[in-house]
Amino acid sequence: MEIIRMPRIMQDTCWRYRMKGRTLGFVPTMGALHEGHMSLIKRAGAENDVVVVSIFINPLQFGLSEDFEKYPRSAEADIKNLRERGVDILFVPDLKLVYPDGFSTTVSVDHVSEKMCGGFRPGHFRGVATIVAKLFNIVCPARAYFGQKDFQQTVVIKRMTKDLDFDTEVVVCPTIREEDGLAISSRNLYLDEVQRKAAGALYRSLTAGAEAIASGTRSAPEIRKIMERILAGENLITGIDYASVYDPETLDEVDDIQTEVVLAVAARIGETRLIDNLLVRT
């Protein structure tokens, strides 16, 4: 596995592969790699000639009161893991080379960035869109892989890719879950044993909503109540940012459930904010 730290060298290396007619499958990450990331890497390997992974904890997507400083870092274990999975190129850029002095350009994706998490994490999706646009420009992958767990992020990135004419297919892969349904996430590492158990309530609330839709409920307010009741019934959940029903393309909240919707929740357990979602077809 080639490990590259300088954006310009990364750009040249990727360009050389593309010139030889090789397709690049790209998995951008912030490290602390887990089975969710590994599923993206596996899919990238199955669909492309060359697998490229980046690890960069992007300060631009963390709010002032958020967890940038304490975000889990496990560089050595990550590198070992990536080697074992047969990744071809790892890009680990230095902060100063990604955002040099004077850096002043950002990418804002209106509307879809303001929904769901947007109200609770102002600026977050601008940070995500900016770093992903930069990485796409450096790697120019044929395909880039993201997990459905961060559903809003996938919608924002798909919109940006289309709007800015990136020649990259955005591939959204299924959420990988623990046995009790908890979506695997680097932030699960913040939970102690009791909190970890309580976190199962997020998936329970989503499945209860999905079951009610499957049984014929078409009123989104009804579904919201069902999901909120389950979250509120878990003592260790200290706050519910949202538990609602959205249009999967516009991310507008819906009232009547017609063809396809996304049920999404964001809740806090202690200091840890967790999100999850399910796509449901009627």
Gap between the Cα atoms of 69 and 31, Å rounded? 14
Position 142 contacts ligand PAF (CB under 6 A): no
How many residues comprise the chain? Answer: 282
Closer residue to ligand PAF (CB): 30 or 210 = 30
The answer to whether residue 34 is catalytic is no
Interaction between residue 234 and ligand PAF (CB under 6 A): no
Regarding 130 and contact with ligand PAF (CB under 6 A), the answer is no
Minimum distance of ligand PAF from residue 258's CB (angstroms): 30
Instruction: Kindly tell me which residue out of 4, 10, 14, 30 binds ligand PAF, with binding defined by CB under 6 A.
Output: 30
**Active-site residue, from 34, 37, 111, 124:** 37
Rounded Cα distance between 104 and 25, Å, is: 29
Is residue 228 close enough to count as binding ligand PAF by CB under 6 A?
no
- We find the least distance from the C-beta atom of residue 255 to ligand PAF, in angstroms, to be 30
> How far apart, in Å, do the first and last CA atoms of the chain sit?
45
Distance, CA of 243 to chain centre: 18
- By CB under 6 A, tell whether 175 contacts ligand PAF: no
Task: Using CB under 6 A, pick the residue from 4, 14, 90, 128 that binds ligand PAF.
Answer: 128
Phi and psi angles of residue 137, each rounded to the nearest 5 degrees, phi first: -70, -30
- Closest approach of ligand PAF to the CB of residue 233, in Å: 30
* φ, ψ for residue 230, nearest 5 deg: -70, -40
Show the site string, 53-92: x = touches ligand PAF by CB under 6 A, - = not.
-----x--x-------------------------------
- State the minimum distance, in angstroms, from the CB of residue 61 to ligand PAF: 6
CA 129/CA 157 separation, integer angstroms: 6
Which distant-in-sequence residues (6+ apart) come within 8 Å of 270 by Cβ?
190, 191, 195, 236, 238
Q: Identify which range of 7-15, 26-34, 89-97, 269-277 contacts ligand PAF by CB under 6 A.
A: 26-34
Interface with ligand PAF, residue 148, by CB under 6 A: no
Q: Which residues, in sequence order, are CB contacts of 25 under 8 Å at separation 6+?
A: 43, 44, 45, 47, 48, 50, 51, 52, 141, 142, 143, 144, 145
Please report, as a single letter, which amino acid is at residue 30: M
The catalytic residues are 37
